[in-house]
Structure 1
Amino acid sequence: MEEQQEKTQGKKQDKKLWKIFWSTFYLSAFTFGGGYVIVSLMKKKFVDEYHWIAEEEMLDLVAIAQSAPGAIAVNGAIVIGYKLAGIAGILTAIAGTVIPPFLIISILSAGYQAFRSNQIISLMLEGMQAGVGAVIASVTYDMGAGIVKKKDALSYVLMVGAFIASCIFEVNVVYVILICGIVGVLRALIENRITKKGSEEK
């Protein structure tokens, strides 16, 4: 019985790893516009389609990916892969994310001079930029709506403040994320102290 359960669990794990690999491979191969786009599409894939990750937890994972050093697409793959399947999930998600751009860039670099002066490709890229902007705006709206639904005043202040700081004052996004993280930690500590005092008084 135990051996059968282990085999069944092993098969389920293998299927999950394959699904993680092909999902990240597909998203990486057909995503244009940088890491923010692939992270937003990962949200649609793993939260909305597969329901493997809760939306609130996905926000936490994106924050970790954004604040960590390195490419956000790879960071996003790492945190999602670890959440879903541990170390094996990390390696699988990284492979799926890195292989497509590595192959595509290797091919394009061979014919860089021809691509650079091609007007049709230039126009295609301009059209893709508009599509990329729409994808980012759509997922940003969905994730922002989740925060608004909580009806938490501090979350509103942080969201608006982060938007103003990054868009108007052009503050580095890493600093914005770190400050928001510090505020979150301070809030948690204060709430814990209030809870402890309340329980002691009872």
Structure 2
Amino acid sequence: MDTKKLEKIFFSTLYLSSFTFGGGYVIVTLLKKKFVDELHWIDEKEMLDLVAIAQSSPGAIAVNGSIVVGYKICGIPGIICAVLGAIIPPFIILSLISACYTTFKNNSVIKALLLGMRSGVSAVIISVVYDMTKNVMKEKDISKIIILIASFIANYYFNVNAIFIILIVIAYGLIKAFIKARKKREVLK
């Protein structure tokens, strides 16, 4: 096993988790920048697939994202390193905050800081959505574009729960894969 890669996975996820505020979608963007753009260990299409898996799995997306990235790069040891790197900083930070909660609760400086961080988090989430949409549009697959638009409309305008949208898209993907496999078998006969 490549210990240098495992170290890089651990310290990368530790760093990202330490300095990322705003939840899982923010860290997913940073995982992409680190492992796709900087290290080139995963290609962009694979990263989109990994993000989809992380989103559709139960639990925190930051941890799920770390799991799938760690597994893709180094298997089970990669998962262990990535998850430890991703959970240690929030564990320590939340332990410290909970110990000092009554002091922070009414502090106007802390309230202003958190309000400012919300704006930055919104910008990062918009960046993720833009990057993922851009990649879908590049493929020029009309079915993916229709799914993208329909999912947005269903969630935003009709308040359809994202879980139902994910399940419908999974069913569509399974049906499409089944049809493709069936056609392939018919060609081979």
TM-score higher than 0.5: yes
Q: What amino acid does structure 2 have at the position aligned with 1:61?
A: L
Q: Is 1:79 aligned to residue 85 of structure 2?
A: no
C-alpha distance in 1 between matches for 2:169 and 2:29: 20
Shift, 1:189, TM fit: 1.5
The structure with the largest alpha-carbon Rg is: 1
Which residue number in structure 1 is paired with residue 175 of structure 2? 186
Which residue number in structure 1 is paired with residue 137 of structure 2? 148
TM-score by length of 2: 0.95
Map Cα deviations across residues 38-69 of structure 1 (whole Å, 9 max, x no partner): 11221111111111111111111111111111
SS state at 1:171 partner: coil
C-alpha distance in 1 between matches for 2:188 and 2:75: 37
Residue 127 of structure 2 is aligned with which of 138, 154, 163? 138
Of stretches 178-187 and 85-94 in structure 1, the one that deviates more from structure 2 is: 178-187
Contact 1:55 1:143 in 2 (8 A): no
Residue 116 of structure 2 is aligned with which of 119, 127, 133? 127
SS state at 2:160 partner: coil
TM-score by length of 1: 0.89
Shift, 1:199, TM fit: 4.3
Contact 1:63 1:177 in 2 (8 A): no
Which residue number in structure 1 is paired with residue 151 of structure 2? 162
C-alpha distance in 1 between matches for 2:106 and 2:139: 50
CA-based RMSD of the aligned residues comes to 1.3
Q: Is 1:21 aligned to residue 29 of structure 2?
A: no
Contact 2:25 2:128 in 1 (8 A): no
Q: How many residues align?
A: 189
Q: Is 1:93 aligned to residue 82 of structure 2?
A: yes
